[in-house]
């Protein structure tokens, strides 16, 4: 299988090269040249997440050097449960994606990318430095996934004082080949500095660098697996497709669901749940696509005004009418997030994180509109990651899951860094010398 750019000006590339590159050279996003088509019977005998992943992703890996390692990559990446649990309402489920090391769904993609990168870099003379700008969840997932992998280093930039104390602790608790830099600036400053470093040819030639952001194919493809796994499980039990409502920011997670449906798995409707950033609701309700500056909300990992994977949705559904018919989107305000979290224990017997709460609210709106099908709410993070928001609303402490507790029990430290590129360049140059 070859991969082409959504902008059509990049030669077709093999999977390994596309993963290593991240963004296509023409500025577009890599997409498969063609889509495989599966029948349900193709998954006969595939029960576990890693078995489903190895079968589902085989056509995308076909012909690449990584193909022979796919089963091992899946076994390494998908090593925690992704349960589909019933909620105490008719035909309503929750798909929990937060049982990995940093308690957010980004662990799935980050672990798969790390397993691929490790193999792509095997035997390289110089280590590869992965640069990550993060507003919280991404940096921790990438750090946990790449920690102590030979030939790979991670440098995380985060806005000092603008991530939650628990997020800051997670970013600074790894050490070894992971360096956390707390930048005296905003998330946008961090992103701009990373971009400049990646484009600094002189530095690149001495210190090979790559990124791990949500447009990477190495993060996108594995995000199909849990949708396929849950949909197959549901179909075997109930003979019907399962619908999903997905907390959405850059559309990476939702794109995983869309691809899973497109290759023939029994995924039904896909509803996109956003926070108050309403660019998707406007488009799917029939308006123009108008990317905007993001606004800050309680669901901060979804504070996105211009979803980067929208380009991939348009590639999958080139006709706007067809695209609008294939998804729906609803925005939920901070007030809606708060009231959903407050009522979650009495209504569902569960506590949801602020991101998951947007999906719960979106499904409630669909039900109020008469929707009766079987739906799974996708839970993207554990509520204990956002205890400062959640605990006052539910009026009780949220128990910390063991993996997160382990990280929080380690000592943590981060180095201060000025919010300008020369400071970052000097710090990276020091690493080169070390």
Interface residue with ligand PLP, options 50, 64, 107, 137 (CB under 6 A): 137
**Interaction between residue 279 and ligand PLP (CB under 6 A):** no
Distances (CA, A) of 170 to 153, 174, 348, 413: 17, 8, 29, 10
**Residue number, 51 or 358, with CB nearest to ligand PLP:** 358
CA 124 from centre of chain: 28
**Residue number, 141 or 424, with CB nearest to ligand PLP:** 141
**Interaction between residue 259 and ligand PLP (CB under 6 A):** no
CA dihedral 119, 120, 122, 127 (to 10 degrees): -120
Smallest distance, ligand PLP to C-beta of residue 219, A: 9
Beta strands in 49-174, from DSSP E residues, in sequence order: 84-86, 92-96, 128-133, 152-159
**Interaction between residue 220 and ligand PLP (CB under 6 A):** no
Interface residue with ligand PLP, options 273, 302, 417, 428 (CB under 6 A): 302
Smallest distance, ligand PLP to C-beta of residue 99, A: 13
Those residues whose C-beta lies under 8 Å from the C-beta of residue 241, and which sit 6 or more positions away, are 231, 234, 235, 266, 267, 268
Those residues whose C-beta lies under 8 Å from the C-beta of residue 106, and which sit 6 or more positions away, are 137, 138, 141, 142, 214, 219
**Interaction between residue 340 and ligand PLP (CB under 6 A):** no
Q: Return the DSSP state at 401.
A: P
Residue least distant from ligand PLP (Cβ): 252
**Interaction between residue 303 and ligand PLP (CB under 6 A):** no
Interface residue with ligand PLP, options 53, 100, 159, 252 (CB under 6 A): 252
**Residue number, 137 or 364, with CB nearest to ligand PLP:** 137
Provide the mask over 97-116, with x wherever binding to ligand PLP is found by CB under 6 A and - wherever it is not. -------x-x----------
Give the total of residues touching ligand PLP (CB under 6 A): 17
CA distance 396 to 333: 23
Tell me which residue of 222, 254, 175, 281 sits closest to 49, measured CA to CA: 222
Helix locations, 276-353, DSSP H: 279-284, 310-316, 320-326, 334-348
Q: Which stretch binds ligand PLP (CB under 6 A): 69-77, 121-129, 241-249, 366-374?
A: 241-249
DSSP string, 120-132: HTTT-SSPEEEEE
Q: Which of residues 145-164 bind ligand PLP (CB under 6 A)?
A: none
3-state helix, strand, coil in the chain (%, to 5): 50, 15, 35
Q: Which stretch binds ligand PLP (CB under 6 A): 184-192, 202-210, 236-244, 250-258?
A: 250-258
**Contacts with ligand PLP, residue ranges (CB under 6 A):** 104, 106, 137, 214, 247-254, 301-302, 355, 380-381
């Amino acid at each position: 299988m070859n991969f082409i750019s959504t902008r059509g000006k990049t030669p077709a590339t093999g999977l390994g090269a596309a993963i290593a590159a991240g963004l296509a050279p023409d500025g577009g996003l890599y997409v498969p040249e063609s889509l495989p088509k599966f029948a349900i019977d193709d998954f006969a005998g595939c029960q576990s997440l890693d078995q489903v992943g190895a079968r589902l992703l085989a056509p995308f890996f076909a012909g690449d050097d990584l193909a022979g390692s796919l089963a091992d990559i899946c076994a390494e990446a998908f090593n925690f449960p992704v349960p589909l649990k019933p909620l105490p309402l008719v035909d309503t489920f929750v798909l929990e994606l937060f049982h990995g090391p940093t308690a957010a769904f980004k662990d799935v993609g980050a672990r798969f990318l790390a397993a691929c990168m490790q193999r792509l870099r095997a035997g390289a003379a110089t280590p590869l430095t992965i640069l990550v700008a993060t507003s919280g969840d991404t940096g921790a997932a990438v750090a946990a996934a790449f920690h102590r992998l030979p030939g790979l280093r991670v440098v995380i930039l985060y806005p000092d004082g603008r991530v939650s104390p628990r997020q800051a602790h997670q970013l600074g608790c790894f050490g070894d080949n992971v360096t956390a830099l707390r930048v005296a600036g905003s998330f946008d400053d961090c992103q701009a500095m990373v971009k400049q470093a990646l484009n600094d040819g002189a530095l690149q030639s001495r210190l090979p660098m790559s990124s791990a952001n949500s447009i990477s194919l190495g993060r996108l493809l594995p995000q199909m697996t849990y949708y396929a796994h849950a949909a197959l499980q549901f179909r075997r039990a109930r003979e019907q497709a399962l619908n999903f409502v997905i907390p959405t920011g850059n559309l990476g997670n939702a794109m995983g669901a869309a691809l899973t449906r497109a290759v023939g798995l029994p995924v039904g409707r896909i509803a996109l749940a956003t926070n108050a950033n309403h660019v998707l609701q406007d488009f799917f309700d029939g308006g123009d696509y108008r990317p905007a500056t993001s606004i800050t909300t309680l669901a901060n990992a979804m504070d996105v005004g211009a979803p980067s994977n929208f380009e991939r949705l348009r590639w999958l559904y080139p006709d706007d009418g067809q695209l609008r018919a294939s998804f729906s989107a609803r925005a939920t305000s901070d007030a809606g997030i708060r009231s959903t979290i407050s009522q979650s224990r009495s209504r569902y017997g569960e506590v949801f994180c602020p991101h998951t709460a947007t999906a719960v609210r979106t499904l409630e709106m669909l039900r109020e509109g008469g929707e009766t099908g079987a739906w799974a709410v996708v839970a993207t993070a554990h509520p204990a990651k956002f205890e400062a928001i959640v605990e006052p609303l539910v009026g009780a402490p949220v128990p910390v899951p063991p993996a997160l507790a382990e990280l929080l029990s380690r000592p943590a430290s981060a180095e201060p860094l000025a919010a300008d590129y020369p400071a970052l360049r000097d710090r990276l140059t020091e690493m080169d010398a070390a």
